[in-house]
């Protein structure tokens, strides 16, 4: 009986406490109506280093996930926290899944993993008069290597002593695509410096890398939040704040090592920062409640930017990058800009009216016009509803979650906010910026040549690519009141495993229009001797249609033709790339700590032969076999 009384008393105390204490639901602390939130929302971590992510305002167990395990790993998983450790350069998303109201909900943290080897370069932010800095070649030149590949004559890729770039120097620049890590360190970097005259960065100069979200000492909450704050601080008039970190490291390296660069690319439907396309830049840095607290216009919340805002923003973005390049002494490094990449692959079809008297008359739906091209449509919600500047905040947020940084089916934020006008305006802004800053800094830095402004695409519809360039040039001339000016100088053909006959016809058709041709992403999926023979034919075609080639010399002084050829990648499988497509392969020298890991493939010797090297001079390959004629 006594035991029962004690039990009843205990129950009574519990019930009394339940009446007097505030209730808690789903693990949320009752002392506030705060929602669960991540701390921090964005993480920047070096390779091999770790940071902790926590869920605030929540007490129950959280499930942690990461989308790219190759970039970073999760460890020390606790009820409401997890440790994230960088593995290799790149970005990943860590998701925290929690329960509330019987439903599963998610919080997402963007993780940026940076190289542990490269000290961050101070970022020069845009000012009214940008600082003028003479590059110090020693500041970001190649670090002291663990092995001197430049001075090691037995490197397999130095045989038989001919450099690819030298064999073709009279015809066109020969380049290669790479990443900042491979460009600066080890055998790969030495190989690039030895054989290639120019580089194209695979990702470092794309929109999402320059219009950054990274947190830095100057912007500890990230660039995206800094841009929101700047928008309201300046009444919407302030320039977008850009991150020049990768641009500076790449260009200073090129300057120090005598390399030229193709800048790839200002405008692409993919790999963009979504917040750039919002009226006030605010994607997930502020909640609607913050607008009232800060006295901001709540109608801007999750609103796509209107056309006039985007015209100014696009101009600011392109102009600031070009201004940085010229004002910092790199105007002689960049010889071509891919102003737009892959816009001609959508289902919005236009025809070009070459008799137009105004910009508004250039594009038509009249199929009797012969110049046709198709471009990317806008963006949609998960239910397929088109999202515009008039869409609700809910629809815009749903669209962002669906489209992300790489929109579905070649959708385009650019088209959604600007319509087809972004196509010609991108070139107009780039052209005007080059003219302005070239002239402003040419005497100071000794600039003598202006870069080409290129439209880059992967498909084989050369007629549509030519039509798109006609539209760009005609619209720009009408807008500026000029005649015959090439605001877009030519077309970049990516040339992934393309047939020789198809390639030759495309080059001839484009060159015959008076346009420049650049081969921008060359690789070949066949292997062994088949790959070698095909690439030899390709390089022979490129020589033929260069200005000093057989076809080019017969066309007269105004002919331009092929001006550069860029191989897309260095060694098979590097950086997770396509295998068996490139000029070099992995090599095991049999040592405990390999020194030589890059060996030439048959395709390498075939390209040397196309450049004029004799079979006898090719000698033997990396494995001691005689090199045949391809």
The CATH number of the domain holding residue 315 is 3.20.20.80
Pick the last residue of a domain from 87, 114, 141.
114
588 in the same domain as 458: yes
The helix-helix angle for 500-511 and 528-544 (nearest 10°) equals 20
pLDDT of res. 315? 98
pTM greater than 0.75 (yes/no): yes
Whether pLDDT at 427 is above 50: yes
Residue 592 CA, distance from chain mean position: 37
201 in the same domain as 84: no
pLDDT of res. 137? 45
Residue 276 lies in a domain: yes
Whether pLDDT at 132 is above 80: no
545 in the same domain as 469: yes
- 621 pLDDT band, cuts 50/70/90, is very high
pLDDT of res. 354? 95
Residue 317 vs residue 92, higher pLDDT: 317
pLDDT of res. 18? 40
- 118 pLDDT band, cuts 50/70/90, is very low
277 in the same domain as 222: yes
pLDDT of res. 452? 98
316 in the same domain as 240: yes
Mean pLDDT within 140-149: 65
Q: Which of 15-19, 126-130, 282-286 has the highest mean pLDDT?
A: 282-286
Residue 572 vs residue 172, higher pLDDT: 172
Residue 109 vs residue 263, higher pLDDT: 263
Query: What value does the mean pLDDT of the chain take?
Result: 88
Residue 457 lies in a domain: yes
Report the half-sphere exposure of 141 (CA within 13 A, side-chain side).
9
- 122 pLDDT band, cuts 50/70/90, is very low
Q: First vs last Cα of the chain: how many Å apart?
A: 102
Whether pLDDT at 532 is above 90: yes
300 in the same domain as 221: yes
Q: To which residue do tokens 């020589």 refer?
A: 543
Residue 593 vs residue 73, higher pLDDT: 73
Q: How far apart are CA 363 and CA 515, in angstroms?
A: 21
Residue 206 lies in a domain: yes
Whether pLDDT at 12 is above 50: no
Q: Are 517 and 510 in contact (CB under 8 A)?
A: yes
pLDDT of res. 4? 41
- 523 pLDDT band, cuts 50/70/90, is very high
Q: How far apart are CA 80 and CA 46, in angstroms?
A: 23
Residue 375 lies in a domain: no
Mean pLDDT within 326-333: 98
**pLDDT tens sequence across 65-106:** 898 887 888 887 788 888 888 877 778 889 988 888 778 888
Mean pLDDT within 107-124: 62
> CB within 8 A of 127, min separation 6: which ones?
none
Q: How far apart are CA 627 and CA 613, in angstroms?
A: 12
Residue 385 lies in a domain: no
pLDDT of res. 114? 80
**pLDDT tens sequence across 388-423:** 999 999 999 999 999 999 998 889 999 999 999 999
305 in the same domain as 176: yes
pLDDT of res. 579? 62
Residue 114 vs residue 529, higher pLDDT: 529
Whether pLDDT at 120 is above 80: no
**Which one-letter DSSP state was computed for residue 305?**
P
183 in the same domain as 102: no
Residue 426 lies in a domain: no
102 in the same domain as 198: no
176 in the same domain as 106: no
Q: Are 126 and 320 in contact (CB under 8 A)?
A: yes
Residue 551 lies in a domain: yes
pLDDT of res. 127? 36
> CB within 8 A of 463, min separation 6: which ones?
372, 509
Pick the last residue of a domain from 114, 146, 172.
114
Give percent of the chain above pLDDT 90.
70
pLDDT of res. 30? 34
The domain tally of the chain equals 2
Domain that holds residue 305: 157-342+434-613
Number of Cβ within 10 Å of residue 220's Cβ equals 11
168 in the same domain as 55: no
pLDDT of res. 16? 42
Q: What CATH code is carried by the domain that includes residue 46?
A: 2.60.40.1080
Mean pLDDT within 364-369: 93
75 in the same domain as 194: no
Residue 358 lies in a domain: no
pLDDT of res. 352? 98
- 22 pLDDT band, cuts 50/70/90, is very low
């Amino acid at each position: 009986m006594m035991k029962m009384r004690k039990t009843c008393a205990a129950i009574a105390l519990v019930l009394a406490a339940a009446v007097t204490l505030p209730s808690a639901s789903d693990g949320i602390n009752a002392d506030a109506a705060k929602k669960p939130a991540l701390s921090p929302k964005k993480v920047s971590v070096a390779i091999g280093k770790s940071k902790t992510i926590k869920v605030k305002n929540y007490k129950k167990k959280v499930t942690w996930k990461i989308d790219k395990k190759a970039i970073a790993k999760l460890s020390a998983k606790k009820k409401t926290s997890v440790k994230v450790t960088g593995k290799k350069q790149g970005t990943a998303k860590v998701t925290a899944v929690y329960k509330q109201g019987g439903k599963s909900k998610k919080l997402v943290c963007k993780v940026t993993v940076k190289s542990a080897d490269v000290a961050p370069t101070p970022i020069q932010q845009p000012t009214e008069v940008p600082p003028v800095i003479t590059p110090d070649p020693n500041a970001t030149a190649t670090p002291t290597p663990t092995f001197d590949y430049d001075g090691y004559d037995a490197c397999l890729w130095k045989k038989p002593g001919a450099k690819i770039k030298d064999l073709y120097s009279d015809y066109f620049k020969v380049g290669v695509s790479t990443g900042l890590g491979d460009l600066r360190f080890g055998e790969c970097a030495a190989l690039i410096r030895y054989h290639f005259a120019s580089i194209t960065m695979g990702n470092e100069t794309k929109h999402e890398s320059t219009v950054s979200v990274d947190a830095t000492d100057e912007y500890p909450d990230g660039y995206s939040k800094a841009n929101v704050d700047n928008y309201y601080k300046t009444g919407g008039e302030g320039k977008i704040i850009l991150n020049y970190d990768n641009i500076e490291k790449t260009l200073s390296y090129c300057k120090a090592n005598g390399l030229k660069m193709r800048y790839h690319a200002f405008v692409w439907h993919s790999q963009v920062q979504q917040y750039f396309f919002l009226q006030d830049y605010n994607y997930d840095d502020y909640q609607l409640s913050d607008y009232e607290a800060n006295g901001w216009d709540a109608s801007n919340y999750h609103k796509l930017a209107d056309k006039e805002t985007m015209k100014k923003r696009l101009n600011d973005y392109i102009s600031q990058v070009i201004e940085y390049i010229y004002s910092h002494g790199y105007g002689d490094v960049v010889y071509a800009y891919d102003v737009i990449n892959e816009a001609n692959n959508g289902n919005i079809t236009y025809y070009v009216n070459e008799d137009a008297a105004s910009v508004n008359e250039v594009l038509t739906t009249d199929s009797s016009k012969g110049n046709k091209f198709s471009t990317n449509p806008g963006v949609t919600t998960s239910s397929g509803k088109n999202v515009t500047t008039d869409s609700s905040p809910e629809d815009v947020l749903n669209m962002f979650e669906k489209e992300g940084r790489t929109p579905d089916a070649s959708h385009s934020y650019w088209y959604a906010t600007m319509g087809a006008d972004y196509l010609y305006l991108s070139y107009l802004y780039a052209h005007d910026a080059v003219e302005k800053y070239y002239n402003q800094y040419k005497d100071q830095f000794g600039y003598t040549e202006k870069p080409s402004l290129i439209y880059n695409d992967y498909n084989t519809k050369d007629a549509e690519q030519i039509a798109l360039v006609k539209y760009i040039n005609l619209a720009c001339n009408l807008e500026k009141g000029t005649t015959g000016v090439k605001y877009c100088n030519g077309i970049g053909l990516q040339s992934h495993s393309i047939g020789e006959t198809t390639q030759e016809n495309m080059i001839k058709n484009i060159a015959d229009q008076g346009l420049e041709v650049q081969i921008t992403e060359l690789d070949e999926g066949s292997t062994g001797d088949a790959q070698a023979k095909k690439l030899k034919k390709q390089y022979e075609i490129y020589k033929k249609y260069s200005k000093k080639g057989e076809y080019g010399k017969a066309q007269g002084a105004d002919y331009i033709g092929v001006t550069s050829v860029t191989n897309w990648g260095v060694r098979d499988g590097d950086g997770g790339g396509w295998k068996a497509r490139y000029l070099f392969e992995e090599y095991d020298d049999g040592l405990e700590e390999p020194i030589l890991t890059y060996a030439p493939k048959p395709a390498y010797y075939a390209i040397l032969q196309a450049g004029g090297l004799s079979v006898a001079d090719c000698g033997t390959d990396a494995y001691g076999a005689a090199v045949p004629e391809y």
